[in-house]
Structure 1
Amino acid sequence: MSTDEPLYRRDPHAWQEHLAEGNARQARKRVGADAILRDSQGRILLVDPDYKPDWDLPGGMVEANEPPLNGVIRELKEELNLELSTSQLALACVDWVSPHGPWDDSLMLIFDGGQLDTDQISRLQPDHNELKRFAFLAPDTARQRLRPYIWLRLEAALKAVESHTVAYLHDGNTG
């Protein structure tokens, strides 16, 4: 092969090393994946974690190299003993969160899981290593219990679900 050939043709092994080096220098982002889950009355499921002061949506941080949809499914199983499949969840919101406090930027996703049936609700069991309790709350009550930026994200996600779209936010805001 001629030396005019690109590296990927000339030396595939060297090309892979070049890509790995570039990958190692690229930014890494934290990714969180939460779920909107409702009961038959339209109330929203919130959880009360014992490791932070405020209520939250069920879900959590996605592990390294884990697809966000799989991450939220795993978190729901771990936190609440709730088993859902990928076909039961649809992306409703992506929120880019700028660096704040000790945290770098992150992507926070909300998936819509729709309405849980009475059997699913009866089997919910909080992991007491992470959660104090859970509750289905009317949107106004949920707003009072959630941190303001979480409420903004949830509110945008709920509107996106109603309009069959996906909301894209920057720090909880559309603009």
Structure 2
Amino acid sequence: MSETPEAESVAQPRTAAGVLFFDVDDRVLLVKPTYKPGWEIPGGYLHPGETPTEGAAREVKEELDITPPVGRLLVADWAPHATEGDKLLFVFDGGVLPAETREQITVDGVEISEYAYYPAEQLDGLLIPRLARRVHAAVEGRRGGATTYLEHGLSHLSS
């Protein structure tokens, strides 16, 4: 591997990780942020030195006050944003939350005002388009046992 010349610019993406949780009816858990419109999946930006699974677990604890295990990687998405710069976004499988864990959920009231479960068919009307594409790919990857690499929420193999 050659050294990078100082004058050469390299990507320094903002990195975030989220977790897909499901209820027994296979509906996706979404959270409603207080600081912006719409819905999201639990998760957020990583702290320096934090791995994606550590960051996802920390965010779930902060937002929902639960500590379920973070499962396998479902999606990695390279998603540059016109005003926010390069982003690398991970979605992990949180599986079906047991009843006792679902009952323990308490939103923080600071970043998250509420949570709800929605069927995959309703996600397009609740999530911004690039997040909806990422979540749909994650749901499909979970069903098929695959990990998917996306660019802008789309398969990089798409023409």
TM-score scaled by length of structure 2 = 0.89
- Bigger shift: residues 27-36 or 61-70: 27-36
Residue 89 of structure 1 aligns with an amino acid whose one-letter code is G
2:153 maps to 172
Larger Rg: 1
1:145 maps to 126
Does 2:56 match 1:93? no
Match for 2:113 among 120, 132, 135?
Answer: 132
In the TM superposition, 1:57-136 aligns within 5 A as 57-85=41-69, 88-100=70-82, 102-136=83-117
- SS state at 1:60 partner: strand
- 8 Å contact kept, 1:44–1:138: yes
1:161 is displaced (CA, Å) by 1.2
Q: Distance in 1 between matches of 2:21 and 2:134?
A: 15
- Gap runs ≥5 in structure 1: 1-18
**C-alpha deviations, 1:54-104, integer Å up to 9, x for none?**
10111111111100000000000000001023xx4110000001231x211
Residue 81 of structure 2 aligns with an amino acid whose one-letter code is P
Task: Report runs of 4+ in structure 1 exceeding 4 Å deviation.
Answer: none
- 8 Å contact kept, 1:91–1:111: yes
Q: Distance in 1 between matches of 2:118 and 2:84?
A: 29
Report how many aligned residue pairs link the two structures: 151
Q: Distance in 2 between matches of 1:71 and 1:41?
A: 27
Residue 59 of structure 1 aligns with an amino acid whose one-letter code is G
Does 2:17 match 1:36? no
- SS state at 1:92 partner: strand
- How high is the sequence identity, in percent, across the aligned residues? 30
Higher helix share: 1
1:16 maps to none
- 8 Å contact kept, 1:46–1:142: no
1:158 maps to 139
TM-score scaled by length of structure 1 = 0.81
Q: Distance in 2 between matches of 1:26 and 1:169?
A: 20
1:13 maps to none
- Bigger shift: residues 159-168 or 116-125: 159-168
- Gap runs ≥5 in structure 2: none
Q: Distance in 1 between matches of 2:81 and 2:36?
A: 19
State the Cα RMSD in Å: 1.7
